Amino acid sequence: MPLQIAEDYSHCEFLIRLPGYCPMPAFRDVVDVPLVVRGLHKSRAEVRKELGVEEDAKLVIFNFGGQPAGWKLQEVFLPPGWKCVVCGGSDKEDYPPNFIKLPKDAYTPDVIAASDCMLGKIGYGTFSEAMAYKLPFVFVRRDYFNEEPFLRNMLEHYHGGVEMIRRDLLTGCWQPYLERAISLKPCYDGGVNGGEVAARILQDTALGKNHASDKPCGARRLRDAIVLGYQLQRVNNRIIGIPDWYNLAENKLAGRSSEGSQILREVEDYEILHGDPQGLPDTMAFLKSLADLGARHDSNKDTDEVRENLAAAGLFNWEEEIFVARAPGRLDVMGGIADYSGSLVLQMPIREACHVAVQKNHPAKQKLWKHAQARHHADHEKLTPILEIVSLGSELNNRGPTFDMDLSDFKDGEKPVSYEAARKYFVKDPSQKWAAYVAGTILVLMTELGVCFENSISILVSSGVPEGKGVSSSAALEVATMSAIAAAHGLNIAPRDLALLCQKVENHVVGAPCGVMDQMTSACGEANKLLAMVCQPAEVLGVVDIPSHVRFWGIDSGLRHSVGGSDYGSVRIGTYMGRKIIKSTAAGLSKENNKDDLDKDGIELLNNEASLDYLCNLPPHRYEGVYVDKLPETVSGEEFMKKYANHEDSVTTIDPKHIYAVKAPTRHPVYENFRVEAFKALLTATTSDGQLSALGELMYQCHYSYGSCGLGSDGTDRLVELVQEMQHSKASKSENGTLYGAKITGGGSGGTVCVIGKNFVGSNEQILEIQRRYHVATGFNPYVFEGSSPGAGEFGYLRIRRRNVTE
């Protein structure tokens, strides 16, 4: 056997190593990953309620097998008042009243997290979950288990282990060990997502991305082993499907014949002629949905179908090439509404994304819907390019599923129509207003880049980014649409430039006065990193790594958010009013000081502030020292325009009858820019609880500043309060902290709250508890955003073609 193991090891190219490892010098290429820990499904309170155990009762989980025949658990084994849950106990055995047998289908991690300590033998799974949940572990040594000394050393290093001798286990002398265990303060705070990390490494290797250039057979065996694992799984008698990347990787490795050779990959019924789905589950699902639509079209069955599916099945010429793009939503970690004032912002692309499929056809080959056929019947000899759009999931968002128009409607003679005319065109029918986000990309390309669209265009939209949650569903739609249209027409647009063009869609065609950070994150973001950008107008500084001990979540408040809402627009107007007042004040002070012949440096400073381009370029000390007293709390539009003429913002229009807040909206971006710069610097600081506390405090300050601007909401305030309750609870303090801060995101007035905490299982448990409490208080079960994915630029585009059905 040792010789066989040595032989097997000699074929390995790298070792995936877990914490608590024993030395394995045979491997030169080692990849360290965090603990492998299963996530929680229920909170501590829910589990104890189901078990019938009081919240203040001491609970030990007995996770132990292989005891002598005839040995039985006895009531006196436990200290008075204690309860014990038994894993894997026999159905034939009678248990004392203070022992509870767990059902065979009980989810053990939930029970571990709900217990006060664990009694058992050291194994990697129990060790990892005890460490992750900071659960004291009373262990009995195992014979012939070589890894035990190393796991035991790690337990003791993090103050999480108590050794019990076997004689005391069998004779029931448990009390001193259990009492010693609950006095410990386990302090492990490392990563717990080792399963995800290892799975990604293995999948990339199976796909040929790692260590496969000279040993494709090894990658193929790994691929087959992973698929076998899928085949062996059973959930309620349901076979879990084989992953779509299996065939894709097969073709990729088989086609790797020489450098520069084109790789042809197949996914379902399609050949991928360009691009890489990157194994993203939502992208694979979208390609599968295209295959289903094509099959539905072939079958000619249209009974019992919703309208959008019928329209989508008939949208494309399925034998021709289709271009697919993907763009994620974003979680506003810091910066928010200060973007249009030139602030530094930090944004994370989320896991949820929008997919858009585009096909161009000569007008003579374009499939027309019946009403479009009737419209073109009178002018049959003239072939006019048309635009047809189908939006999947429209019924969930109360909008029309289809939209079509003649592309000539975007022309005024030989020139594109004005943005104002286009905006009026789309608001005529409220159920069709959504189409402005999609069709508007075509008008912007015509206007800004001079693109001439001579062919008809078919567009299919499928978005997994929830609308109205403040996570930039509109930006994801715009970026994915323009990326797919650009790819279909051979336009090479850099991600930054594409984001700026998409902002024009939202500002000028849709009429929403947003900044550019949403589109920039969707286009330029990278998975599991924060995009750092100075919005003057869009200077991308690069990405900021999220430290391994830090994690971000988004929790939906259930209150719909819209940057087109009146509150957002009014706050923006108030901000620009404040900037105009500061500039005017600085100009007046400069003139007065010139008369007094004061120092030149002071005059130059005032002159610079008199020509202030971005409010965020004004430091807080200058705001407080010179201008804060010059700003009114509020002002009417009429009064402001009489004194200052205009507010120098081309995106918004002042209503003379409206009363605008000025001081709070002006103060917010000045201080927000400072907070974001401090936040960015802290992310690279030495790991400590003080670091997380400071990051969380900056988020809290941002949240309450939103509220002072009038952009808060009861729902988002409630979620932030729940985070604070968790942060300052006894349970959190015993863990040395889990969650540290929260803030409203994006344009405010509802939407999603961003939460920062330790990348630790206990934090996940508290997020679940917040979700539960919010549900109880409001009746709304909030969606939790977690995870990240690549931006549209990093993803690129797919060019696909359906295979011949007879192949």
Catalytic residues: 518
Query: Beta strand 456-463 with 270-274: parallel, antiparallel or unpaired?
Result: unpaired
Residues 612, 340: Cα–Cα separation, whole Å: 14
Number of neighbouring beta carbons within 10 Å of residue 295: 15
Q: Are 194 and 34 in contact (CB under 8 A)?
A: yes
Phi/psi at 371 (nearest 5 deg)? Answer: -70, -30
Q: How many CB atoms lie within 10 A of CB 51?
A: 18
- E runs forming strands in 362-436: 386-391, 402-406, 411-412, 415-416
Three-state secondary-structure class, residue 661: strand
Angstrom distance (rounded) from CA 605 to CA 586: 9
User: Is 270 in contact with 251 (CB distance < 8 Å)?
Assistant: no
Contact 384, 408 (CB under 8 A): yes
Angstrom distance (rounded) from CA 5 to CA 281:
35
Q: How far apart are CA 680 and CA 739, in angstroms?
A: 19
CA distance 518 to 474: 9
Helix ranges (DSSP H) in 124-272:
124-132, 148-157, 166-171, 175-182, 194-206, 216-232, 245-254
Taking alpha carbons only, the member of 19, 129, 104 closest to residue 120 is 129
Residues 421-428: contacts with CB within 8 Å, 24+ apart? Answer: 422/508, 422/509, 423/508, 423/509, 423/510, 423/511, 426/509, 426/510, 427/511
Indicate the SS3 state at residue 429.
coil
DSSP one-letter code for 36 = B
Phi, psi of 349 (to 5 degrees): -65, 135
User: Residue 604, class by beta-carbon neighbours within 10 Å (0-12 exposed, 13-18 middle, 19+ buried)?
Assistant: exposed
- Burial of 626-651, coded b for 16+ CB within 10 Å and e otherwise, reads bbeeebeeebebeebeeebeebebeb
Q: How far apart are CA 177 and CA 167, in angstroms?
A: 13
Task: Count CB neighbours of 528 within 10 A.
Answer: 14
Distances in Å between the Cα of 147 and the Cα atoms of 14, 25, 353 are 20, 15, 43
Compute the distance between CA of residue 64 and CA of residue 724 in angstroms, rounded to an integer.
Answer: 38
**Three-class SS of 610-654:** HCCCCHHHCCHHHHHHHHHHHCCCEEEHHHHHHHHCCCCCCCCCC
Q: Using the 8-state DSSP alphabet, how is residue 737 labeled?
A: -
Residue 582, token pair as written in the block: 């500061």
Among residues 569, 576, 581, 588, the alpha carbon closest in space to that of 647 is found at 576
Per the CB < 8 A criterion, the answer to whether 575 and 748 are in contact is no
Half-sphere exposure of 459 (CA within 13 A, CB side): 36
φ and ψ at residue 309, rounded to 5 degrees: -70, -40
**End-to-end CA separation in angstroms for the chain:** 47
Taking the mean position of all CA atoms in its chain, how far away is CA 427? 31
Would you tell me how many other CB atoms lie within 10 Å of the CB of residue 681? 10
3-state class of 696 per DSSP?
helix
